[in-house]
Amino acid sequence: MDDSGSTDTRMAALNITAKDRDVWVASALALVALAAFYFSIKATQQHFDYTSRIASALMQGDLGLREPAPSWLNEMVPAKGRQYSVFPLGAVLSMVPVAVLQKVNLIKDFPGRALAALIAALSVWFLFRLSVVGTKSMPKRILLSLVPIFGTWTWCNLGFGGAWQIALGLAVLGEVAALYFVLVEFRPLLAGAFFALAIGNRTELALCLPIFIYFLVRRIAPDSRDLKSLVQHSREKSGVFVYFLIVPLALGFFTALYNYARFHSIFDFGYSHIPKVLQEPWYQHGLFSLHAVPWNIHKMLFEGFRDAPNFPFINFYPFGCSIFLASPFLFLIFREGGNHKVAAWTAIGLLTFALWAHGNPGGWQFSYRYAMVLLPWMFLLLLGNGPPKISAIEASLFVVSVTINAIASYQFLWTNQIHP
């Protein structure tokens, strides 16, 4: 008797069961992350609600505020009888749901703490689902999925809950989800929408577009051995690229209109128009300059901690420190191996250069907050190297990294111990 049909049915059932188990574990992990993040942070900067205010103005047909902005919103640009935000359109559109809730009086103040916790939880959900491209060990997938949120400077910086930090968190979430919908569950339209969320909140992430295009090509032509067959498959399935690009291109078009309507240039986001910003010493060579690279390198890679006379005997500089001291677990990205090693390192290189060229390394922060956008690519590296199960060194570095970031979050968010 031919039982191949029943075998196929059993295999399909097993696959469905494995997928369902993944969803349940991811959801449980996300709920734990939501509670842990929410109750461990104090959103001391949530009153910096630039994007939420402009989102409310958009709902009323304005691109800016008609009334003078509060004194603490000192990055607003006065022009043509309005107060404009320098945040890109994507960051503003991301806050439209918040503006709607405020409009119907379900919430009053900017919910920076709740947004930060929700972003952390969703990021953990997608990180866990994405982790299947690496190890199959459930404990290791859980550990790796928690590292970018609780084992790095993301915990403290996202925990501030201001518009700048929320935008960075949404960019990270967009990157991770876009990678998931390309590398795991292939849905180009959703991948493109989340990529738009990422670049809408952090414009420099547009540099990663060629890498996503490469991933798409490899998904639609996995067995192609030469350039000719790759091109042929790409032409035959050109709809995949249309689906992926339609939302990012639409966002880019409306962002150009948004910029032109405010500052008469499609490329002008308005940052240079902030009163007296170009008089600040770090912008003496412009917003972006090669002169800024050495300072950024020092802050991102070499700035240390401060010692303290009392437990826990360490203290942190308020304007940056080495990402590898803040998260020793990330030293493991330098191990060899991984199917996505070249693509991930290319993304890290492109984004790092863009970050280093910016005149200001990030202001008040723990470690180097802008490097949050590197974490999804570092996560890909971590998935592709190392042993199949958790090793002693990985467990030890995880505990150390979480401890360092827990201390930083406590000192920055709950105490007055951090001073300039």
Domain assignment present for residue 410? The answer is no
Decide if 374 contacts 356 (C-beta within 8 A). Answer: no
For the stretch 115-124, pLDDT in tens is 999 999 999 9
pLDDT reading at 2 higher than 60: no
Domain containing 76 equals 41-110+162-271
Average pLDDT over residues 371-387: 95
Domain assignment present for residue 75? The answer is yes
Domain assignment present for residue 16? The answer is no
Give the CB-side neighbour count of residue 267, counting CA atoms within 13 A: 1
Of all residues in the chain, what percent are helix, strand and coil, respectively (each to 5)? Answer: 65, 5, 30
Tokens 């030890």, located at residue = 396
Domain assignment present for residue 2? The answer is no
Give the per-residue pLDDT at 315.
87
For the stretch 107-147, pLDDT in tens is 999 999 999 999 999 999 999 999 999 988 999 999 999 99
For the stretch 318-361, pLDDT in tens is 999 999 999 999 999 999 878 899 999 999 999 999 999 999 99
Average pLDDT over residues 235-252: 90
CA dihedral of 282, 169, 249, 358, whole degrees rounded to 10: 10
Beta bridge partners of 350: none
- Mean pLDDT over the full length of the chain: 92
Distance CA 337, CA 317 (A): 35
Domain assignment present for residue 225? The answer is yes
For the stretch 61-107, pLDDT in tens is 999 999 999 999 999 999 888 999 999 999 999 999 999 999 999 99
For the full predicted model, state whether its pTM sits above 0.75: yes
Would you list the DSSP string of 309-351?
SSTT-EE--TB---HHHH-GGGGGGGSS--TTHHHHHHHHHHH
Give the per-residue pLDDT at 1.
44
Distance CA 46, CA 161 (A): 5
Domain assignment present for residue 155? The answer is no
Domain assignment present for residue 350? The answer is no
| Plot region of 72 (φ>0 → left; ψ -120 to 50 → alpha; else → beta) | alpha
Decide if 368 contacts 153 (C-beta within 8 A). Answer: yes
Q: Which one has a higher pLDDT value, 222 or 21?
A: 21
How far is CA 43 from each of CA 34, 37, 250, rounded to the nearest angstrom?
14, 11, 33
Domain assignment present for residue 409? The answer is no
Distance CA 294, CA 260 (A): 34
For the stretch 12-57, pLDDT in tens is 555 667 778 899 999 999 999 999 999 999 999 999 999 999 999 9
| Plot region of 337 (φ>0 → left; ψ -120 to 50 → alpha; else → beta) | left
Counting the structural domains of the chain, the total is 1
